[in-house]
Structure 1
Amino acid sequence: MKPLLSDRGDRARIPQQFLDRPATREVIRHLPGESFRWLEHDYPSEIARWNYHPEFEVHLIRSGTGSYIIGDQVGPFGPGHVALIGSGLPHDWMSDLAPDEVIHNRDAVVQFDGDWIDRSAESMPELNEVREILNASGRGIVFSGETALKAAEEIEEVGRHHGLRRLSHVLALLSLLAHAPDDERQFIAREWFASPSGDEGTAAVDAGLAYIFENLSTRIRMSEAARLALMSEPTFSKYFKKASGLTFSDMVRKLRIANACRLLEQTDRTISTICTSVGYTNLANFNRQFLAEIGVTPSAFRKLQPDEKPRGRAPSLGLSGTV
């Protein structure tokens, strides 16, 4: 695969209106009579942006090269890239584009609700085979080798059929991913979400994430997130930590640093401008938080080639200072 963004001028090719918006909660609507959704879309488009949703997603890149952001990690992609995105995990695929270029039908996507799997498994216990891979997908998983090739074929078959034949290909896809050999699956982000913990935990995480994403460039208060979740601060804090695996302030920091990685990767903005764009008011604090979370400084991160980007560093929790 060719090096991505080897020409600094390429960074200016991503449409600015898509880069300036923070991640949003994507509302996924299923058609009547379908238990999952299959779709394809161009790039750039309104639907192709940094987003998150409670549904699981299997994502295929058909053409083009660029950079993905999954959780708190940035990496390269090319044609045939297949990823499994867990519930609530922020993600985006940003293609390298020439001026005014549009990649038609760049993406093919299968999305489904975890509750659908749970309900179906009550009458079809064979579906329990996919629980392990779905639980692990909170970090995001990129597949390679024969698994990626066969998964791409199944995703395309889902789009070609309807009814039971379409469902059969979704089940074949899930089975394929669940039984992928270890050397054909790569975990991308650091630990992001623990398993959901009841309605209260889900409500806390949903309200907290929506509030964080809507205010990522400004001051964020846990008291406001708790108010939106209709909880006291101690109750909100307890449920948010239990359901997400992170404290509220840790989540704010991870999302701000993830957004900073995205802007460092895809724009030529100065580091001080990016610092402000992601909600930091102090450049020294931004540099310190970025180094603790990613393992390199923002300036060093920008100079790295995509395959040199640091991965798997243990998250640095409980740091002093503001987020």
Structure 2
Amino acid sequence: MPMPHSNRSVPRQLKPELESEFARSPALGYEAPDEAGFVRCLSHGFPTPLARWHYHDEYELHLITKTSGKVFVGDWIGQFQPGHLVLTGPRLPHNWLSIDTPDGGVPFRDLAIQFDHEPLMQSAALIHELAELGPLLERARNGIEFFGMGESTEQQWHRIKQATGLRRLTAFFDLMCDLAACTDYRLLSSVQLQSDDDDASIDQIHALVSRITDNLSEHHSAAAIAAELGMSESRFSRFFRKATGNTFTDFVNRVRISRACQLLMDTDQQISLICYEVGFNNVANFNRRFLESKGMTPSEFRKQSLTRFRGAA
């Protein structure tokens, strides 16, 4: 059933824009194509056409140096101020919207670094030391906010920007080493698998998570799945928590909330229908769980998410 019409203007296109290579003009702050190698530096002010709800195939390390406002990363909505530092993974939508921009805007607000996944993975297969970046890049699928690293990262960004060739690559890996070692961070969007178990266990968890994700409206019982895997329920609980960082029930609820966020952002579907589609039995429980997870109600989340399309005005 469609939602009732309102006076609020709703964008026809609710999904993020894919950033294409031809749109990366030096006039907007990108490095010229003949300058950009594996590590691409980007700087720009605000307002700018680059501030929009979008995604791209590269990782992006994004530092805010001026103004404060609202940030959107995947299904996460939060606040930013100078020193705000986030690493987003490939195709994770994002946008930063300043709310205290002075008249005429600011010439420099964002310092970013973009880099590709595949060259790193191919190199890590041959150079063992690069494998240390693996856990960091896995976490980046959710978006990672780092704390207390804004000032040092700004200095390192300028060092990378001014360097070329091997010296640029050396400066880049120096920064990545610091990020990989940072323990003061939070993951921003959805859920993340973390496991140092053998490949078979990891595959088992991935298959289980895919099954939950693909069948959210079904009842998922830890006892039933444990029996299916030939484990006691207590052993399965330990196994699952080690792999995901969550209890089974918390994980299922987080995946359901994440899917609800996607539907709230990408569709005009009624909230009550979304509640049942993602597997909650009643709207009151859905609202309570959503508030616990996101710090706002589903209707407020939808209202705030609509502002992710602003930016260049």
TM-score for the superposition, normalised by structure 2: 0.59
Does structure 1 conserve the Cα–Cα contact (< 8 Å) formed by 2:139 and 2:192? no
> Is residue 297 of structure 1 aligned with residue 312 of structure 2?
no
2:79 is paired with a residue whose SS is strand
Identity, in percent, stands at 28
Given that 1:138 and 1:193 are in contact with CA atoms closer than 8 Å, whether structure 2 keeps it comes out as no
After superposition, the C-alpha distances for 1:6-38 in whole angstroms (9 at most, x for unaligned) are: xxxxxxxxxx99998641112246834611211
Determine if the alignment matches structure 1 residue 254 to structure 2 residue 254: no
CA distance in 2, matches of 1:119, 1:170: 17
Instruction: Specify the alignment match of 2:18 in structure 1.
Output: 25
Q: Is the 8 A contact 1:64 1:78 kept in 2?
A: yes
The offset of 1:165, in angstroms, is 2.1
Measure, in 2, the Cα distance between the counterparts of 1:18 and 1:40: 28
**Is it true that 1:41 corresponds to 2:44 in the alignment?**
yes
Question: Paired residue for 2:140, among 131, 137, 142?
Answer: 137
Question: For residues 208-260 of structure 1, what are the alpha-carbon distances to aligned partners after superposition, in whole Å with 9 as ceiling and x for unaligned?
Answer: xxxxxxxxxxxxxxxxxxxxxxxxxxxxxxx9x95x98439977643233x3x
Which of 158, 168, 181 does residue 156 from structure 1 map onto?
Answer: 158
User: Which residues of structure 2 form unaligned runs of 5+?
Assistant: 1-8, 25-30, 196-206, 217-255, 276-282, 305-313
What residue in structure 2 maps to residue 279 of structure 1?
267
Change (3 A) 1:18 1:61: farther
Distance, in Å, in 1 between the alignment partners of 2:64 and 2:135 is 24
SS of residue paired to 1:280 = coil
Letter in 1 for 2:164: H
**Residue 176 of structure 2 corresponds to residue 174 of structure 1:** yes
How far apart are the structure 1 equivalents of 2:12 and 2:170?
A: 37
Instruction: Tell me which amino acid in the other structure corresponds to 1:186.
Output: R
Q: 1:292 to 1:160 in 2, by over 3 A?
A: same
User: Equivalents in 2 of 1:187, 1:283: separation in Å?
Assistant: 26
Whole-Å separation in 2 of the counterparts to 1:254 and 1:283? 10
TM superposition shift of 1:284: 4.2
Q: 1:124-148: per-residue Cα shift (whole Å, max 9, x none)?
A: 3211111111011111111112x34
Q: d(CA) in 2 for partners of 1:81 and 1:27?
A: 26
How many Å separate the matches in 1 of 2:267 and 2:287?
13
| Structure 1 residue 115 displacement after superposition | 0.4
Structure 1 Cα separation of the partners of residues 101 and 111 of structure 2: 22
After TM superposition, give the deviation of residue 82 of structure 1 in Å.
0.9
Matched pairs, number: 223
Q: Which runs of 5+ in 1 are unaligned?
A: 1-15, 196-238, 260-277, 305-323
Alpha-carbon distance, 1:163 to partner: 2.1
- For 1:212, the equivalent position in structure 2 comes to none
Match of 1:187 in 2: 187
Taking the aligned partners of 1:19 and 1:63, their CA distance within structure 2 comes to 31
**Alpha-carbon shift at residue 292 of structure 1 (Å):** 5.3
Residue 85 of structure 2 corresponds to which residue in structure 1?
82
- Checking the alignment, whether the CA contact within 8 Å between 2:54 and 2:95 is kept in structure 1 is yes
Structure label with greater radius of gyration: 2
TM (normalized to structure 1)? 0.58
SS at match of 2:140: helix
Q: Please tell me whether the aligned partners of residues 58 and 109 of structure 1 are also in contact (alpha carbons under 8 angstroms).
A: yes
- The answer on whether the counterparts of 1:52 and 1:88 sit within 8 Å (CA) in structure 2 is yes
Matched with 2:244 is none
